[in-house]
Chain A
């Protein structure tokens, strides 16, 4: 039961262009969403998050969009840089009860930014 799905295993973009990473979820109880970046042999590093009361959150080159009706979110990176090459994970959580703070992750998307 994959509640968070990243259907694109990999994405390749040219330096300076936009990278768009997509994520779909099925659990309507999810109300907080996060994106993490992961390099090999390191733990995931937090990038940006969004609450379900918003539809957009921006932080520098990173913007996350949330479409609740479609249960879809996306991460936009503009402009893309070679140092952005990593695995990107989408994660979701729901407030309340003992699951507070537990994250459910997607499978990840490998982003490669070519110089």
Chain B
């Protein structure tokens, strides 16, 4: 069990560019979540997968954001036409069931300049 892995750890991009983050969950976990955390706030839910199905998307997830989880394994989060307001820590978590092994990765810190 190597935990939840997120890549890259840091990403600096120019406004208007597209970025993609990857999350590799704990192998036996069938649920995968994306959260966003800005300074001074707690993580905010973005979207959730059970296996390969995307079951819920937050209103925070604008049309510029898209997430996939092909084959129910790793997941990618893409942000198109990045804006300065997208600068945040993007966290991935996985779980087997509610309250059990709900584990976060170390996050990807995005800075849009």
Q: Write the residues of chain A forming the contact surface with B, with a CB cutoff of 8 angstroms.
A: 4, 6, 32, 34, 36, 41-46, 49, 51, 89, 91, 93, 95, 98-108
Contacts and interface: CB of A to CB of B under 8 A. Distances in A.
B44 A105 contact: yes
Interface in B2-37: 4, 6, 31, 33, 35
A101 B32 CA distance: 10
B91 A44 contact: yes
A43 B33 CA distance: 13
B95 A105 contact: no
B65 interface: no
Contacts of B56: 98-99, 102
Contacts, number: 68
Nearest to B6: A43
Given A42-B107, A101-B97, 19 more contacts: A34-B102, A41-B106, A43-B6, A43-B104, A43-B106, A44-B104, A89-B43, A93-B99, A98-B55, A98-B56, A100-B98, A101-B31, A102-B56, A103-B102, A105-B44, A107-B41, A107-B42, A108-B40, A108-B42
Interface in B86-107: 91, 93, 95, 97-99, 102-107
Nearest to B55: A98
B48 interface: yes
A102 B48 contact: yes
Range class of the B interface residue count: 20 to 34
Interface of B: 4, 6, 31, 33, 35, 40-45, 48, 55-56, 91, 93, 95, 97-99, 102-107, 109
Contacts of A104: 45
A103 B33 CA distance: 9
A49 B40 CA distance: 23
A42 B106 CA distance: 5
18 contacts: A32-B98, A41-B109, A42-B107, A43-B6, A43-B91, A45-B104, A89-B43, A93-B98, A99-B56, A101-B33, A101-B48, A101-B95, A102-B48, A102-B56, A105-B43, A107-B40, A107-B41, A108-B42
